[in-house]
Amino acid sequence: MQHSQSDFAQRVRPLRPGFSIGTSGRVGTLGLVVTRRGGDAPLLLSSSHVLSGKPSSHAYDVYQPGGRDRSRGDAPVASTLCCIRPSRNAPNWTEAALARPHDACVVSALHPLGPIRRICSRLHVGQLLVKVGRTTGLVHGRVIAIDWSGFVRFRYGRGFFARQVLVRGEEPVSLHGDSGSVWLTEDGEAAALNFASFGRGVVSVSTPMVRIFDRLGIEIFQPKGN
């Protein structure tokens, strides 16, 4: 199915990766539909600052579309389940969160670029990746670093991140609203979760997907019968 760049900010049912999602005050991208290891219930994976508000422990209502994309009367579609929030005092290794949909029947794991059945175990400099995000739509980039460390600024402060992946495009690949989108390999493997950028969006800061899956104890959701 072909989409224009603006389509990904719109309401979509069933809920699908690549489209706008977030709390009432935040907007980002639904990265993947996953499940707990050994489980069978779909969960929504995105960035922490997309699926939660200020650092706190309570669950947030999650909307699709999220943030300013939604209409005032839209009902929440999910609630924050768990969230890895950046620390200001210690190195951070990832920034990701899960939300539990209120109705599993309105969730589809199908990515706009096709089915995703596994994650990439190893990335290398120069590797070509592709991504679909709420703001930039379909973009391509190349890995320029696999062990980057530095500070990332968020609305509620900044944190030091270690061993991150940098992906550079010829045009912006990560703008406001693209946090939570997932870089894929040419073979359709989930490679890294985009959560920040610099260079006016030309460089994406992303976390290797294998690290996120290990930290959250998740796997790609495979609908029964597939």
Domain architecture of the chain: domains with CATH: 5-111+214-220 (2.40.10.10), 128-210 (2.40.10.10)
Residue 112, pLDDT score: 95
Residue 96, pLDDT score: 96
Quote the mean pLDDT of the chain.
Answer: 92
Higher-confidence position of 163 and 223:
163
Quick one: 20 exposed, middle or buried, by C-beta within 10 A (0-12, 13-18, 19+)?
A: buried
Confidence of residue 85 (pLDDT cuts 50, 70, 90): confident
Measure the CA dihedral 167/170/174/176, to 10°. 160
Confidence of residue 86 (pLDDT cuts 50, 70, 90): confident
Please give the average per-residue pLDDT across 71-77, as a whole number. 90
